[in-house]
Amino acid sequence: MKRFLGVLFMVAAVAVIAQAKVYSYKPANMSLDIPNGWTTEEVKGKETYLEIKSPNSEVIMYLEYYDTGGFGDYSDSEEYEFLETRLGEILSDQDLDITDQFTEKINGMKVYAITGSYTDPEFGKAYVYCGAFETGKQLSTLTVDVLDSDMKKFKTQVNKIIDSAKKLK
In tens, the pLDDT along 18-63 reads: 478 999 999 999 999 999 999 999 999 888 999 999 999 999 999 9
Which residues span the domain enclosing 61?
20-167
Q: CA–CA separation, 1 vs 151, rounded Å?
A: 18
- Is 155 part of a structural domain of the chain? yes
- Is 127 part of a structural domain of the chain? yes
- The mean pLDDT of 112-132, rounded to a whole number, is 92
- Is 62 part of a structural domain of the chain? yes
Split into its structural domains, the chain has a count of 1
- Is 82 part of a structural domain of the chain? yes
Q: Has residue 140 got a pLDDT over 50? A: yes
- Is 7 part of a structural domain of the chain? no
Check which CATH number belongs to the domain holding 157 and give it.
3.40.1000.10
- The most distant pair of C-alpha atoms in the chain lies apart, rounded to whole Å, by 43
pLDDT at residue 164, rounded to an integer: 97
- Is 8 part of a structural domain of the chain? no
- Is 69 part of a structural domain of the chain? yes
- Is 70 part of a structural domain of the chain? yes
